[in-house]
Structure 1
Amino acid sequence: MKRVTIHKHEAALVYRNGVYQRMLEPGRHWLLYLTEKMVRYDTLQPFTPPQDLNVYLHDAKLADALIVVEVKDTEIALQYENGLLKKVLTAGRYAYWKSVIRYEFVHVNISEAEIAESIDKTVLHHKLVAPYVRNYIVESYEKALLFVDGQFRRELASGAHAWWKNSTAIHVGKVDTRQLQVEINGQEILTRDKAALRINAWAQYRVTDVGKALLHNKDYERQLYILIQLALREYVAAFSFDELLDKKDAVALAVDATALGVEVLGFGIRDIILPGDMKDIMNQVLMAEKKAQANIIMRREETASTRSLMNTARLMDDNPMLFKLKEMEYVEKIAEKISTISVTGNNGLIDGLKQIFVTPK
């Protein structure tokens, strides 16, 4: 015989020739020296026996000392210790010692995609639980539809949404409800007078019905592009080239996209690109117009200049003193360009100069 001591927060299992016999609680106990062996366990840790758990649960004393948790194939169990989440248990059978640790187990059915409202959202973001959860975010400017296994279920509000990660197919279709813009570039269109033009345009739109956009139409954005493209071609074909140029900045294009769940808010033509031969013709027209404008301006200036000369001549004819002042003005201008003057001649030259600079009485 030998005597053994089981300490506090311990338990021991006694085996005889490899076969489980009994459980020893804290205290002093006797063992058969040669045939019985003892295995100690920390009761603050989970119980992990070397053999199948059912072998030990036949002992009523041991069964009463354990907490047995069974997790089904379609479940996970959240293990809490003293109120704190410590582990996520998958399908299987688990045993824990009844001790000072307060164990709680929350069983969750993950065969269904929907998450029960009783589970706090903070738990779903815990690092232990996150691998079992699918998360989706719907922004405040978005509308979304939920599809489960390919079937439409409901419209989702803005915010965070989560589902259990399992074999159920989850798809969230999102639509941006802000004002958006589509570019319609490089459109080669004939005008009413058969002028071939390349047009770059734009359209602004907003999704107003997410159900029509996603459920009733495939690739609604592509359909909207084609709808606007056809409307643009019809609009341009109704005008001649000159009329289109005049209306370029005031395009009135009506596009009905309600069947797509879309409202077209605005439309405009950004560029009208002419082919090479048309450019040459337009340049010639422009040059001719500018030349004509230049000729008109030159004639207008010449007429004004002639009229001014006639008025000046009429004034000088009526006023000899004004004529004399004009002569002196020109003489002054000439004198400014001359540095020295050498005068030679008889008294007739002096008298001639006097006549220029002296006003007769």
Structure 2
Amino acid sequence: MLGFTTINVADNERVLLFRNNRLERLLQPGEYHLFNLSANIEIIRYDITKPELNNHLGRFLIKNYYDLLGNEVISYDTKENEVGLVYFDGKLSNVIPPNTFKMFWDVAVKVEVKIIDISEDFHVDKRLLPVLVRNKGTSIYVAGSNSIYYAEIADNHVGLLKVNGKLEKILKPGNYGFWRFNQNIEVGILDCRLQNMDINGQEILTKDRVSLRINLSASYRVIDTEKVAVLLKSHTDFLYREFQLALREVVGTRTLDAILEDKDIVNQIVEKRIKSKAYAYGLSIHDVGVKDIILPGEMKSILNQVVEAQKAAEANLIRRKEETQATRSLHNTAKVMEGNSTLMRLKELEVLERVTGKINQLTVYGGLDSVMNDLIKITEK
């Protein structure tokens, strides 16, 4: 129709009608014929099944055209210490940050916004956590991830809640959420179980200037979480450095022989020197032990030669003892046989048996008596 514009509004739509850049009407579902011969007509179409009404002029429209919009549009303006929880038909669907203005169509979907004051209590209600942080792939998960600092503390661990750099609270095992707005939230995790620490590859000079590479192992436990959190930036770095210094002090004041002779003394002294210092910082030392003492190549060769010489000397000593024992036994046997013809004869027969046992062929002259009496004969001198 000449001079007229036709506008169709669906049942799930609302249309803002602007004439000459001024909001004139909110069009409900239906068909409209508008005279536009001399006027500049502009429309903005909205799907009211999507409740959030996005318009950069939102505050202005609500303030100046509330009579046109008020029956179907609701608005919320959070303050600097407020957070809004947006529910669509009873389901948590979005989070409104502080200092934020939002408008919603309150027609096809029931919209409710709960305002939370976070100026004093920035903890997230534990009943909200599963919805905000575990429904991955949903819009509320995205909103929750951007709005909440989530921490999960496992068994035998504690959490160190720091707000703007200050330790606020020690958290027991469990799940926690904190609003990120207006403050810097950080949760550190401390493992309170017995833990191992390896101090490997320590190059140290002994008192007699022998270079050793030593590997040390220790076990420890966090017993005062507040001390560890307040007094130490990193308790593992602290322990590692203290073990290093103690090991260097103990090894550097002893000779190689003293260290090799009794490694346990090194363990005991290192543990004693670390224990009291660690306790002052909330740490308990349970065990310290030298795993390996590695000698340089030349020193290892020399030490092997010394060990080889010691073993050879021990073998010679044993051999000499055995020879002496054998001589003493022969001497005792000779004394027993002396003046005893029967024993002498038995010895002759024993020797005869050994001799004949090693002969392949024996030719006898003079008969069996000659063999028995003349072949082997032990005589006294």
Fold-level similarity (TM above 0.5): yes
Among candidates 320, 330, 333, match of residue 299 of structure 1 = 320
Match of 2:85 among 78, 83, 88: 78
Q: Percent identity?
A: 30
Which residue, 121, 128, 135 being the options, matches 1:120? 128
Structure 1 residue 300, shift from structure 2 partner: 1.8
SS class of match (2:334): helix
Change (3 A) 1:39 1:178: closer
Contact in 1 for aligned 2:124/2:179 (Cα 8 Å): no
Structure 1 residue runs of 5 or longer lacking an equivalent are none
Partner of 1:138: 153
1:92 matched to 2:114: no
How far is 1:78 from its partner? 3.3
C-alpha root-mean-square deviation of aligned residues, in Å?
Answer: 4.6
Within a 5 Å distance, the mapping from 1:1-361 to structure 2 comes to: 44-46=49-51, 58=65, 60=67, 63-64=70-71, 66-72=72-78, 74=80, 77-88=84-95, 91-99=100-108, 101-108=109-116, 114-117=122-125, 120-125=128-133, 126=135, 127-128=141-142, 129-166=144-181, 168-179=183-194, 180-183=196-199, 185-191=201-207, 194-198=208-212, 200=214, 201-236=216-251, 239-251=254-266, 252-253=268-269, 254-255=272-273, 256-257=276-277, 258-274=279-295, 279=300, 282-283=303-304, 285-317=306-338, 320-342=341-363, 348=366, 352-353=370-371, 355=373
Q: 1:354, CA displacement in angstroms?
A: 5.5
5+ residue gaps, structure 2: 1-6, 136-140, 376-381
Give, in angstroms, the shift of residue 131 of structure 1: 2.8
Which amino acid is the alignment partner of residue 114 of structure 2?
Answer: V
Task: Check conservation: 1:197, 1:272, Cα contact below 8 A.
Answer: no
Q: Which amino acid aligns with 2:317?
A: I
**Matched-pair contact (CA < 8 Å) for 2:104–2:111:** no
Secondary structure at the aligned position of 1:98 is classed as coil
Deviates more, 1:290-299 or 1:235-244: 235-244
Deviation for aligned residue 1:336:
3.7
- SS, match of residue 95 in structure 1: strand
The one-letter code sitting in structure 1 at the alignment partner of 2:102 is R
Contact 1:67 1:97 in 2 (8 A): yes
CA gap 1:11/1:210 in 2 versus in 1, 3 angstroms = closer
Structure ID, larger Rg: 1
Structure-2-length-normalised TM-score: 0.68
> TM (normalized to structure 1)?
0.72
CA distance in 1, matches of 2:32, 2:104: 27
Count of aligned residue pairs for this structure pair: 349
